[in-house]
Amino acid sequence: MFEPLTALETLVLRDDAADATVALAPARGGMVTRFLVGDRTVLYLDESTLLDPAKNIRGGVPVLFPSPGALTGERFRYGEATGSMKQHGFARQRPWSVTAADERSATLALRSDEATRAQFPWDFALTVRYTLDGARLRITQRVENHSATAMPFAMGFHPYFHVPDGEKGRASIATAATRAFDNTTKTTVPLEGPIDLTRAEVDLHLDEHATLVLADGQRVEVTASPEFTRWVIWTLRGKDFVCLEPWTAAGDALNTREGLIVLAPGEARELRVEIAVST
């Protein structure tokens, strides 16, 4: 039986039939920290970053809201509204509250406050429901605009999948994409063959769905509702992870407005992401 390794991981979801377990850390960005199916460790986690509140967590499944990626100069202007935030938004750095929990699901919430309004000048409520169904983790998000003006946002997740560095040459990315934006060179490049996951850094942004195929042939399938149009592949040589990140928009969308979701006052939107492990 899985036991949380830190006091921060206060929620554990369990599906006994599939021998699957998920751990959550509400106090550290409302994120999934671990996902195990049988003897497979699905997610990578650098525990030292989980335990240090001054650091961004490297591992698990960080929540990227209201702006995945980086803003130009860490600032944005949307109409008359302005704000400033670091890469990937503030949700992953904020404590979340638990609003419901049972054996296989938990709902966490993040609401605007003085600190969030200093970075993103809208009132909002964001809830994320994590549901474990066999070897599949369903992540349902609901974003509500509680402001008197239209609220733009983008959503994303940053799953770090456990791939030992020595196995990256035998792992692969399956995708129908034929082109990608290479964030290391800031150029658009053709995808004419397998993505080389052994490079010093891979940071490719695809406009088509992608699947991670592990060295032993098992697949980690990330699927999402239609709003998620950008799929980021990121890894570093010497690190035991490959990230496959669904985003609803490219970085800097709060400035470019490309791919933004805009909610009218009082409007809400539900989105969905699922992570499934073949068994």
Kindly state whether residue 207 falls inside one of the protein's structural domains: yes
Cβ neighbours of residue 18 closer than 8 Å, sequence gap 6 or more: 37, 134, 135, 279
Q: Among candidates 2, 57, 53, 55, which has minimal Cα distance to 32?
A: 57
Kindly state whether residue 38 falls inside one of the protein's structural domains: yes
CATH number, domain of 192, equals: 2.70.98.10
Do 155 and 127 contact (CB within 8 A), yes or no? Answer: no
Kindly state whether residue 83 falls inside one of the protein's structural domains: yes
In the chain, the amino acid numbered 164 is: P
Do 13 and 106 contact (CB within 8 A), yes or no? Answer: yes
Tell me the whole-structure pTM to 2 decimals. 0.96
* Cα(75)–Cα(260) distance, integer angstroms: 16
- Convert the pLDDT of each residue in 6-57 to its tens digit: 778 889 999 999 999 999 999 999 999 999 999 999 999 999 999 888 898 9
Kindly state whether residue 2 falls inside one of the protein's structural domains: no
CB atoms within 10 A of CB 98: 15
Kindly state whether residue 146 falls inside one of the protein's structural domains: yes
Kindly state whether residue 78 falls inside one of the protein's structural domains: yes
Kindly state whether residue 6 falls inside one of the protein's structural domains: no
| Total of domains in the chain | 1
Per-residue pLDDT of the chain (279 residues; tens, 9 = 90+): 456 557 788 899 999 999 999 999 999 999 999 999 999 999 999 999 998 888 989 999 999 999 999 999 999 999 999 999 999 999 999 999 999 999 999 999 999 999 999 999 999 999 999 999 999 999 999 999 999 999 999 999 999 999 999 999 999 999 999 999 999 999 999 998 899 999 999 999 999 999 999 999 999 999 999 999 999 999 999 999 999 999 999 999 999 999 999 999 999 999 999 999 986
Domain that holds residue 29: 11-277
Kindly state whether residue 3 falls inside one of the protein's structural domains: no
